[in-house]
Structure 1
């Protein structure tokens, strides 16, 4: 086992409870900065959760006062000699659109078939912000600090940010944030569409939302995520056709019947796994 692989086992922690995965970047003494071991841990954790039995929702956060302050300083020092430290991360094969280590560390969360909720406090800068963009929902503290920080280092956001950010805030705002690298508060992030809502305790709010989602039909939730992720990325005819495929599969299925029955009987539903 290489040092990177050994360290990766400590960089991200996962706790499963009631179908909810509580995932935390675990390098608080470094503001959860991303080094090769963190890249490897993020990808490995996300890949594992893609096939996790009984998974209903994921909450992604950082230990300590920050979500993630971006790349480790050692990465920038290595760039002075032309080295790209992320390329040294040991990763499993990928068939998805993201191939580079940084891209996979962010986009793997978008590929998980259940909702992913990012709980952001403190700094979410550069690569840290891009990791949060892989989540379906972002709950942030009002005073969180978010930034497309890369231009400060003479770089561009290369962890899927150039493609995902315009979907959230619009092309012009994405350009303004990228060109200026200005820091956005959690409150402003919500106003411009970079975050979903604020909460003084985003982790508690995210876990509560995840538990609520976990109580819904897993087949319906997964189908909804598939369809919503198509929006704006395919033509309307294909999107409308996909809706009909999903609804036909759901109507009369055991979990759909259970959802209806439970509501009429005024009890909690007992859903089978997706």
Structure 2
């Protein structure tokens, strides 16, 4: 199995039974404010768009990019649809011309030629709201992965009954504007931001410990904000009043909390090859030096993107 990072929560999964395009986004999303970090425009989107399956985890526009789908993803692709209580995501997809819908059910394992097994687990926790969220489990006999995405599963036992994942991909960063843009004293914003980052780290570590996969890949954030009025809220903020922990910062936290855990930076172009427990990670878009610049000289990189 091969998993290639596409930026933010996007990934391209190549298996013995076909390929799956997950949450591809170029953006900008949310009224032009939200761009994938790091920049993912240099990827071969024609190649990734020619997948066998399309999986959109939920309707948030940092996971569902109609313009990208229209440009790169053929209308006859098989779409793995999570079982949500409302049909909003299906309506959106059909509105774009996608009619080849595979209706998944919670706990149901779909089997395809080549030994491919897929399970989509919808989440309907109060924090997810009516549009929901979901995770994707994939096993092709050579490896098993769990793409938990933004979801916060309540029933881990059911989710992990699929198979124990060799590699685990999960959100570790924030995705809300609290407390940065609210009318609070600056000291209060800084204190609340620290509490929020601590809570994010604690939540992510809880799932990492429960899933107990050998290999962990933090993803699904942070964004980068390039508009003048939002630029200062990138990362932890120019005044330590923001919540957007990046992959390298989280991995440092994870090493301190769980030293034996193997963790890796997952950026656009990161290629993860899994076979019978063996894992190889290769960077295909950015060099190691460029990745160091992106994370260690973040404000310079963000300024160049601006």
After TM superposition, the score normalised by the length of structure 1 is 0.32
Higher helix share: 1
Larger strand proportion of the pair: 2
